Structure 1
Amino acid sequence: MLGLGAARLEADMNRLMALLFHQGVLDEQFMQLQQLQDESSPNFVSEVISIYFRESEKLLKNLRSLLLRADRECTDYTKIGIHLNQLMGSSSSIGAKRVRTVCLAFRAASEHSNWSGCLRSLEVLEHEYCYLKTKLHELFQMEQHRVMAAGARYHPALS
């Protein structure tokens, strides 16, 4: 049985998850990812998400440098499209719905060599990515606290 603190944290986690689904930040793929976690791999989801964030940071940095070159006429829209396809794929695989959606709009702008549209899309993408990262970090922190609270037992004989 969960302790009072653990039960409260689990309820908070459920509310946060419901909010993220309601806002369209996450989709059912995130739930499928969670179902792959079990006792043999208790940190599976957080490890997958950590890899996602590490790789996404690199892709965002590359996108920013490709767009903010000194000579914007030489922007390599093909490379931008490649980076966006990678980010879309990994975002889809973890259920990051809004990030994926922004990538689609960004890719459309890059296919039309629309530099200002790409720049606006990059700003929106970075905002959505930061929101996702913050909320998933919050969720994983709650999970860690819940596991600790559930594992902590009160032993009156030891007091």
Structure 2
Amino acid sequence: MKKSLFDQGYLDEQFCQVEDLQDEASPNFVEEVVTLFFKDSGRLMSNIEQALEKYPRDFNRWDAYMQQLKGSCCSIGASRMKNECMSFRDSCGQGNVEGCMRSFQKVKREHAVLRQKLESYFQLLRQAGPAGAATRPIM
């Protein structure tokens, strides 16, 4: 399943680097990091949504919030989400409100899909036990 997350572009090598930090002392490290990512990214997306409504055409504010979200995506290797964040930021740079709105909808979709896929992945890992966590995708 993890290989398909890489093949479909949901995750990149950064996710493997996060996995490399997991050890016997913290066997749930990756799942905890991902849980924190979804908590933080949910808050950031809420901030962006509010900024889109309260501050129309404030591209600098929108861009600053999206930069924070993009950084969070990069930290866990959420590649498709990161790419949509970059599209949003490109639209901000062009002063394209419609492009920002479209990109933000895509960011929210990618966030929901990634959450579902990673929840399934971690559920499978828990069922497989410690040996399942040791495998890396073939690149």
1:49 paired with 2:34, answer: yes
TM-score after normalising by structure 2: 0.88
Q: Is the 8 A contact 1:77 1:110 kept in 2?
A: yes
Equivalents in 1 of 2:35, 2:10: separation in Å?
17
**SS of the residue 2:129 aligns to:** helix
Any stretches of 5+ residues in structure 1 without a counterpart?
1-15, 151-159
Q: What CA deviation, in whole Å up to 9, does each residue of 1:28-54 have, x standing for no partner? A: 110111111010011110111111111
Q: What CA deviation, in whole Å up to 9, does each residue of 1:40-90 have, x standing for no partner? A: 011110111111111100111111122234xx7x43211211111111111
- Between the aligned residues of both structures, percent identity stands at 38
Aligned residue for 2:95?
Answer: 113
Which of these two proteins has the greater Rg computed from alpha carbons?
1
Mapping of residues 44-123 of structure 1, within 5 Å: 44-69=29-54, 74-123=56-105
Equivalents in 1 of 2:53, 2:64: separation in Å?
17
Equivalents in 2 of 1:56, 1:76: separation in Å?
21
Q: Is the 8 A contact 1:67 1:115 kept in 2?
A: no
Equivalents in 2 of 1:83, 1:43: separation in Å?
29
Equivalents in 2 of 1:82, 1:31: separation in Å?
27
Letter in 2 for 1:85: Q
Moved over 3 A (4+): none
**SS of the residue 1:41 aligns to:** coil
Equivalents in 1 of 2:48, 2:57: separation in Å?
10
Equivalents in 2 of 1:18, 1:99: separation in Å?
18
CA RMSD of aligned residues (A): 1.6
Task: Give 1:117 deviation, angstroms.
Answer: 0.6
* Larger RCO: 1 or 2 (CA < 8 Å, sep 6+): 1
1:126 paired with 2:108, answer: yes
Q: Is the 8 A contact 1:66 1:75 kept in 2?
A: no
TM-score after normalising by structure 1: 0.77
